[in-house]
């Protein structure tokens, strides 16, 4: 198999649980890690329970690993203290361990909320300045910036995948635009791991939906082509007959409901 050992963080989470089986063909061993209980290891798997905020534990977690899929951390807007531990300190610990252990390729589960303050009438690409929509989005911008530094300074390659909404089906009209199918997520991870050269790439993880907010022109070297589309769910969110008021933040900005959560500093 191409890799000896792939580490998947966030393995107990919504995406981690689904990715587990899809990763197996890519490595002799998949090391599954999370703060939460994961359950027993299957064949070709190892389970390591670990808090990303624990520097020594993260260093031990990385031993013998040659590629990382980093999905662990807080996945929605939350008080800053919690985000700081899991997503900021956790990311710093992870990359220090990656550097010390000689890992060459990383895929970081970034988010569309790095760009949530662009308007729903904007077409966003990977070279536009980040406009995060809260502490969660800010922590993902930190992760993108940290991984860029580790590439520029040490040559560690990372693909930051700004995932849209990866759920079995869209939960709102917004998610018709941001929808990413599981199969398309798996294919984008495969492309990110196996492209000969990725440097530091920021890509958008989104299916081939009809309406688009994101332009993938700066990540075409990955060779990812989405096969699914939210059109299969057409009709789930019919026009209600009334337009949203002018000051409706969740309609005006791409971050949608994240715009309504307010500052979470504490």
Closer to ligand NAI by CB, 52 or 135: give it. Answer: 52
Instruction: Please choose, from the candidates 158, 57, 144, 161, the residue with its C-alpha nearest in 3D space to the C-alpha of residue 109.
Output: 161
Q: What is the CA radius of gyration of the chain?
A: 18
Distance of closest approach, residue 208 Cβ to ligand NAI, in angstroms: 17
Q: What span, in angstroms and rounded, lies between the C-alpha atoms of 189 and 152?
A: 22
Burial 158-172 (b: 16+ CB within 10 A, else e): bbbbbbbbbeeebee
Residue 9 engages ligand 15L in binding (rule: CB under 6 A):
no
Binding to ligand NAI, residues 15-34 (CB under 6 A): 15-16, 34
The helix-helix angle for 14-23 and 182-194 (nearest 10°) equals 60
Strands (DSSP E) found in 14-140: 27-34, 45-49, 67-70, 105-111, 124-125
Residue 114 engages ligand 15L in binding (rule: CB under 6 A):
no
Residues in the interface with ligand 15L (CB under 6 A) total 8
Choosing from 27, 29, 48, 53, the residue that interacts with ligand NAI (CB under 6 A) is 53
Q: What span, in angstroms and rounded, lies between the C-alpha atoms of 115 and 177?
A: 14
Mind telling me the catalytic residues? 136
The CB-nearest residue to ligand NAI is 13
Handedness of CA 35, 40, 42, 44 (dihedral sign): positive
Residue 75 engages ligand 15L in binding (rule: CB under 6 A):
yes
Evaluate whether 90 touches 71 at the Cβ level (below 8 Å): no
Choosing from 178, 201, 207, 230, the residue that interacts with ligand 15L (CB under 6 A) is 178
Residues in the interface with ligand NAI (CB under 6 A) total 26
Choosing from 33, 87, 93, 111, the residue that interacts with ligand 15L (CB under 6 A) is 111
Distance of closest approach, residue 48 Cβ to ligand 15L, in angstroms: 23
Please give the residue ranges that form the binding site for ligand 15L (CB under 6 A): 75-76, 111-113, 165, 175, 178
Please give the residue ranges that form the binding site for ligand NAI (CB under 6 A): 10, 12-16, 34-36, 51-53, 71-75, 85-86, 90, 109, 111, 163, 165-167
């Amino acid at each position: 198999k191409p890799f000896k050992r792939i580490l998947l963080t966030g393995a107990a989470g919504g995406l981690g649980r689904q990715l587990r089986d899809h990763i197996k063909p890519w490595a002799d061993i998949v090391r599954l890690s999370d703060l939460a209980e994961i359950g027993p290891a299957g064949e070709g798997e190892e389970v390591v329970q670990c808090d990303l905020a624990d520097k020594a534990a993260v260093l031990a977690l990385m031993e013998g690993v040659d590629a990382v899929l980093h999905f662990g951390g807080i996945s929605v807007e939350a008080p800053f203290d919690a985000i700081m531990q899991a997503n900021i300190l956790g990311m710093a610990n992870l990359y220090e361990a990656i550097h010390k252990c000689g890992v060459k390729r990383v895929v970081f589960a970034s988010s569309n909320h790095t760009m949530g303050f662009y308007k729903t009438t904007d077409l966003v690409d990977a070279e536009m300045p980040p406009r995060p929509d809260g502490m969660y989005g800010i922590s993902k911008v930190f992760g993108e910036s940290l991984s860029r530094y580790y590439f520029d300074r040490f040559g560690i390659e990372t693909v930051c995948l700004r995932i849209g909404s990866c759920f079995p089906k869209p939960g709102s009209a917004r998610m018709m635009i941001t929808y990413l199918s599981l199969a398309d997520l798996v294919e984008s991870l495969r492309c990110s791991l196996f492209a000969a050269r990725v440097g530091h790439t920021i890509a958008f993880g989104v299916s081939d939906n009809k309406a688009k907010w994101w332009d993938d022109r700066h990540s075409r070297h990955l060779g990812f082509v989405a096969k699914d589309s939210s059109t299969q769910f057409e009709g789930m969110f019919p026009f209600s007959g009334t337009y949203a008021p002018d000051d409706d933040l969740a309609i005006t900005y791409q971050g949608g409901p994240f715009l309504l959560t307010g500052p979470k500093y504490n």
